[in-house]
Structure 1
């Protein structure tokens, strides 16, 4: 096993494996398709936007940070667009979908990736404004995305949606009640929509990442980083590219018989 402290070697190994898997699946092609990715300015969202563009999709990179979203769109190319979206605002989400339709003439895929962690507090002391904000972004925002995108995807001949859940869609954790509640609810919302749209040509699934090696986590002291790593039986944290690999598979025609499902990419975190 690669030593936990050898972070660069772990990332290089994970990246190489992801490239092999993604490169071997021709059915991951998205030529001629339009895909919206929310929370696309960095991290998992940027990785998904990049992978979709590399496989032929015309991507709409959407984020609250319009400048960073524009930078991602410029970087990934293939006619990518960008827009500012506040996923907690239904009108903003509707405008995002309208932009995709107006500029590309169709919409085939949506990745509801935008989300926040929210305050940390026990339930009896949880701030009410924090609860509302997390539910607005992490749950209502996903509903808004599907509410406005589903008719357009159906109109465009069908496609697929991935909603970004979490390991906390299936297990709990202390002092994050709003986040856990929203991510659990996401599965029920997804399954209901999958039943409704199964015969309308739209598949809808949830991806549940474990702890992902972001710059924020990489900056942790070595003992805290190692503690997080130890929670994953595989012996390391995940990468944004690994989450993207699973997401792009579920969006693709290679997953044509998969809908209403919750798929973990968690290094075994939920296995014990």
Structure 2
């Protein structure tokens, strides 16, 4: 039985590796958790590194982040951390949270009836998307899922809805691809809305549910189109009309019969463009570049 009464869980969300190495974005998350350990008392803190083995890699994101963390952790701080967990099976943010709940429960680090505060470490655009989805589409929110699963095991989880209460790291790529990458990520909210429609999880009228996700999608597409026009980005010029068409077709609430196909196409396009635009897809960097 664990004798430490943990009061905080700090979750470092995973980022795709490149040639089994962390990219700048992944490193920024490791640096952030190092700063947390160096500046706060973590003796009652569980640190969880999330991320499995993704396509083309042979080692998990969690393992590489943890190894990097250990390599740069001041020796005097090594015994000042309550516990460390590795979640090494997920390949997406959704799976990060789902599998994290399993790892936390199975670790038995917390006793039934315990209450623990959860804080996340990730890049700003990533956290903003996660909290936007939780606020607008609560039925589909990952944070609610984490609370629910822990509650079933007798654990009480508190998560602030204020991003400032978490460890948000600035996204550093201001090149055209970087700007397009972050903008494209905003369309995830509409994809999650479509997933909820397909799964029939919304008990509220869809006329109410769709308002904000659709407004975000329209605003994001307009900004993408303006940036693509200014930069003459050929791939996006070809693919943006397809994304807009899907949004327009699915915004008609009377026409959800083809939702599976529409969602599949939308998801495929977003995943392809996300990987194509990611400024880090082809580069490896040194620690303090």
**Structure number with bigger Rg:** 2
The TM-score with structure 2 as length reference comes to 0.34
The TM-score with structure 1 as length reference comes to 0.35
